[in-house]
Amino acid sequence: MPALDETGEEGFLVGLRRCGCNPQKRDGVIVFSVVPIDGSRAGESIETGVEVEELAAWPSAPPHWVHLPTSMTFDHSNTRPSPIPDWLKHSRSVSNWGNAKEPAQAWIAHVRAVLEEA
C-alpha cells in the first residue's frame, strides 16, 4: 500500500527531527535552525520557518515561502509579512521538487541555498 503515513504538518516535523533539527511551532509557523555552508552567513545558525498552512499537502506540494527574521536581507526579494513579529516571508520556489528520499532534507538544502544569497 502507498506510504501515506508521513504527510502534512506531522510528516514535515518527523522528517526535520530525523535530519537532526529541533522544530518548534511559533505563531502558526514551524521554526527550526539551519546552518548555511557558503555565503556571508556560512557557519552561523539561523532560524527559519514554514507556515503550517503551507504543509497541507506535504511532501507532494512543498511550501513556497521561506520565513526569516528581518535581519536577513537580500538584494532582491519578493516579500510578504510573516505571522511572526519582526520576520518576513520570502518568495522562493523550490525547483525540481519531488524526487527526494528524505523530503525534509531537500527542504533544508533549499533554505541553505536561499540563505547563501543573504
Partner 1 sequence: MSGRSDRNHNVHHASRYSVVMTGEVDVMLHSQLLRSDGQEDLCLAVYQPSNGAERMTAILADVVSPLEGETEVHGNVSFTGDYVLRAAATAARCGGGVAILHSHPFGSGWQRMSQHDKDAEASFANIVREITGLPLVGLTLAGSSDTWSARFWSRGVGRKVAPEWCESVRVIGDRLAVSWNPDLRPPPSTGANQVRTASCWGSRMQADIARLRILVVGAGTLGMDVAVRLAATGVQTVGVLDFDSAQLINLDRLIGATLLDVLLYRSKLEVTSRLLDQNATALDFRPEFIEGSICEPSQLARALDFDLIFCCVDDHPWPRSVINTIAYTDLIPVIDGGIHIDAFADGGGLRNATWRSHVLRPGRPCMACNGQIDLGKVNVDRAGLLDDESYIANLPHAEQPQGQNVAVLAVGATASLLAQFVSFVAAPAGMGEPGPLRYSLSTHWLEHVEATARENCPVEKSVLAGDRRLLLVGGHVVARQNILRRQQAASHPLIKVARVIDDAFSLLRMFLTRAIAAFQAD
3-state secondary structure (DSSP) of residue 24: strand
The least CB distance from residue 7 to partner 1, in Å, is: 5
Q: How many residues does the chain have?
A: 118
Smallest gap, in angstroms, from Cβ of residue 76 to partner 1? Answer: 8
Nearer CB in complex with partner 1: 2/43: 2
CB of 43 to partner 1, least distance (A): 27
Binding site for partner 1 (CB under 8 A): 1-4, 7-8, 54, 56-57, 59-65, 78, 91, 93-101, 103
To partner 1, the closest distance from the beta carbon of 106 in angstroms equals 10
Q: How far apart are CA 36 and CA 90, in angstroms?
A: 17
The whole-angstrom separation of Cα 49 and Cα 30 is 5
Closer CB to partner 1, 46 or 94, in the complex: 94
Q: Which is nearer to partner 1, 24 or 93 (CB)?
A: 93
What is the residue-wise DSSP string for 29-98? EEEEEE--SSSTTTT--EEEEEEGGGGTTTTTS---EEEEETT---SS--EEE-SSTTEEEEE-PPSS-S
